[in-house]
Amino acid sequence: MPNIRDVATLAQVAPITVSRVLNNPDTVSPKTRSRVEAAIAELEYIPNQIARSLRSNRTNTLALVLTDITNPFWTAVARSVEDAARGQSFNVILCNTDENESKQNEYLSVLLRKRVDGFLFVPARSEPDAVRSILRQKVPVVVLDRRVPGAEVDVVRSNSEAGAYELTRHLITLGHRQIAMLSGPQNVSSAQERLDGYKRALTEAGLTVEERWIREGEYTVDSGYAVAGQLLLESELPTALLGANNFIALGAMRAIREAGLRIPDDISVTCVDDIPDWLVGEPFLTVAAQSPYDIGIQATKLLLRQIREPGVHSVEEIVLPTELIVRRSTKAVSTQAVIGEYGR
């Protein structure tokens, strides 16, 4: 691969002149410029961004560290981040942590070495260590989807508490009283908040929060399946089930179906996080939908601002609303007494 000197030699100029043709064409006389351009074309010269980065301390690369690109929520975030970054001539390195802390930390370390210009980061836990390790290097970060108490970072997230609250209220309004909460990992802020929202709705409605209806799992289909499976073995079944995220609900739905129960006739199911309607033929799940595309856009905007204006910013927290979308997976309770037997 030819370098700037090869071009310079061929064009009979100094390397710096080639550099100028590339970066400030106006400062070069048309005659030499065209000679240089011809040489560039002939050699198919491609400027070396690595060398440029070494001088400029800019890689024009963002890191997107998320939990699992396989979840349509994160897919949408990734898509929007990439769109927004592209518009500002940044590329995006994608990393899946699977909420695994060691994987996450390994990635952070590699990405810091790569000198990415900034991080869009979904921390595996709500502890501030990881975020701090980035901040200590003065590398811009925006945290997505989760709060990190104890770290001063920009955060873009949805109002999980309100989302879960609304879903629970919706179920209560439908007459449900035995509402199971399939919660996410409690070391993740969004999972905590969703549990909080659930509890608040119950309490405000004068209902008691019963621990037996609350089960903790991971944000995965398998976990939702397993935890719901457990729940369905109990003697008394819930009449409704709130999944802390879409994957938990999907796993639970499979467990429910395999147990021979019908949704929503036997059990209503709902969750935070939508599944894009164009993905599923007929949207079915009642959900508190987030706006993943917005989250990605806003976060990228904040990050690019940090990168471009390295001064001290006030720490921003953008909390986007969720939207209750009622579909066919929830239904007014009717024969709840019967359901206990049904499950057996």
The site for its own copies (CB under 8 A) is made up of: 1, 44, 46-51, 53-54, 59, 61, 64, 68-70, 72, 75-76, 78-79, 82-83, 86, 89, 91-96, 109-115, 136-138, 221, 247, 250-251, 253-254, 257, 263, 275, 278-282, 284-285
d(CA 241, CA 329): 10
Burial class (CB in 10 A: 0-12, 13-18, 19+), 133: middle
In a 13 Å sphere around the CA of 168, the CA atoms on its Cβ side amount to 32
Helix (H) or strand (E) holding 179: strand 179-183
First and final C-alpha spacing in the chain: 71
Q: b/e map of 42-52 (b: 16 or more CB within 10 Å)?
A: ebebeeeeeee
Supply the minimum distance, in Å, between the C-beta of residue 223 and its own copies: 12
Binding residue for DNA (CB under 7 A) from 23, 91, 137, 203?
23
d(CA 193, CA 189): 6
Pick from its own copies, DNA, none: which does 34 bind, CB < 5 to 8 A by kind?
Answer: none
Structure tokens at 37: 């351009």
Q: Write the binding mask 34 to 73 for DNA: x where contact by CB under 7 A, - elsewhere.
A: -------------xx--xx-xxx-----------------
Residue 280 contacts by C-beta under 8 Å, 6 or more apart in sequence? none
**Is 14 near DNA (CB under 7 A)?**
yes
What separation in angstroms does the CA of 21 have from each of 6, 28, 32, 38, 291? Answer: 14, 6, 9, 11, 44
Supply the minimum distance, in Å, between the C-beta of residue 70 and its own copies: 5
**Is 116 near DNA (CB under 7 A)?**
no
**Is 208 near DNA (CB under 7 A)?**
no
Binding residue for DNA (CB under 7 A) from 10, 28, 231, 249?
28
**Is 4 near DNA (CB under 7 A)?**
yes
Binding residue for DNA (CB under 7 A) from 27, 34, 186, 203?
27
**Is 91 near DNA (CB under 7 A)?**
no
How large is the angle between the packed helices 101-113 and 129-136, nearest 10 degrees? 10
Residues forming contacts to DNA in the complex (CB under 7 A) are 1, 3-5, 12-17, 19-20, 22-23, 27-29, 31-33, 47-48, 51-52, 54-56
